[in-house]
A and B are shown apart, each in its own frame.
Chain A
């Protein structure tokens, strides 16, 4: 017998990575203030002050960049740093004098500081064409193009409230975009092209049929081989069949693209959490800068910024003014695709005379 294989040991204990000021004041924080864009101070019952500096990152990071972050953490804050749930990097300082030199170094490195309070934080996103087999659009490229355009809203705090953008490159939504102020969602629009030659070798046919939420897939003999047929008029392009069977690809350059959703939120502050709703059914994939998408998103951000009340999230604002007014103000054409026809669709119909004109 060789050494027993080590398994099931879990992640390293977080206490190893907490700076002394946090260990000393764990659970004792009293209040916090945002001092300027990207910089906040947490004040403890003990009087201790902890300064956090938040910088944007591209989520996709080379080890060279991580090492550069480490060097900055060593230089300014004893080697301690953290990442946020939206892929930003945060440096945890106990000396206020280090804030401005750190910000200057981060800028030199190409990482703007911001994303706090009434700003647009980094876009939660997925892998896209960099790594995903089911992507209907790229992720990193769209995010880069959109945030290049919206950079001022990350580095300044001039919006009425928070605005959270997320991108998922297909309906699997690895990035949970379904509750975002603005969601960018990659979509397919062509039913799967069945690989009849190989399907029987790769997949279990009953599983493939069962995977379809609309029962559009039936077993069939094609060219003497066991395979499946797709009732195309029933396909809603969810790609669930492709997830269980690689012989059902949906990706298609002519028909894949992006849809835009608005008005979701996760926080319980004021209004309860809400799903995002469809604003723009389809925009084309137009790499490298997706101009149609960046323009649509800037228009939505600015429309909300101009009209929302202080603290009002996108969804709260739209709920106050009503969806008809949202469509009139945004100039987005309301179409058949906007009307729900999946489960419980009737609950989304307007069932009153509360209308604006």
Chain B
């Protein structure tokens, strides 16, 4: 059974949440993890759509530290109020 965008977005969100403070994940890390987890039930386009959903919902944000990552929203170290 193919997964829905919302299901994949939730699974990705959990990955990001669990990795917080341990390792910054990239979009490709999330996609690879989904393929590993769900095999034929996901494809790349579905993962792309799920990431888009995750971002548009505001549950995750893109960050940049010498490369782009996907993280939970937080106040960054460099920020001035």
Q: Chain A interface (Cβ within 8 Å of chain B)?
A: 5, 198, 201-204, 207, 211, 240, 243-246
Contact = CB atoms under 8 A, between A and B. Distances in A.
B77 A202 contact: yes
20 contacts: A5-B56, A198-B77, A201-B77, A202-B77, A203-B65, A204-B23, A204-B24, A207-B24, A207-B65, A211-B66, A240-B66, A243-B65, A243-B66, A244-B65, A244-B66, A244-B67, A245-B65, A245-B66, A246-B77, A246-B78
Contacts of A245: 65-66
Nearest to B24: A204
Contacts of A198: 77
A200 to B, nearest CB: 10
Contacts of B24: 204, 207
Given A202-B77, A207-B65, 10 more contacts: A203-B65, A204-B23, A207-B24, A240-B66, A243-B65, A244-B65, A244-B66, A244-B67, A245-B66, A246-B77
A202 B23 CA distance: 12
Residue among B66, B77, B78 with max Cβ neighbours from chain A (10 Å) = B66
Contacts of A201: 77
Interface residues of B, number: 8
A109 to B, nearest CB: 36
Contacts of A211: 66
Interface of B: 23-24, 56, 65-67, 77-78
A251 to B, nearest CB: 15
Contacts of A244: 65-67
B15 to A, nearest CB: 16
Q: Which of B23, B24, B65, B67 has the most chain A CB atoms closer than 10 A to its own CB?
A: B65
Nearest to B22: A204
A273 B23 CA distance: 41
A243 B56 CA distance: 27
A5 B65 CA distance: 27
A190 B32 CA distance: 40
A245 B78 CA distance: 11
A207 B22 CA distance: 11
Contacts of B77: 198, 201-202, 246
A207 to B, nearest CB: 7
Contacts of A204: 23-24
Nearest to A201: B77
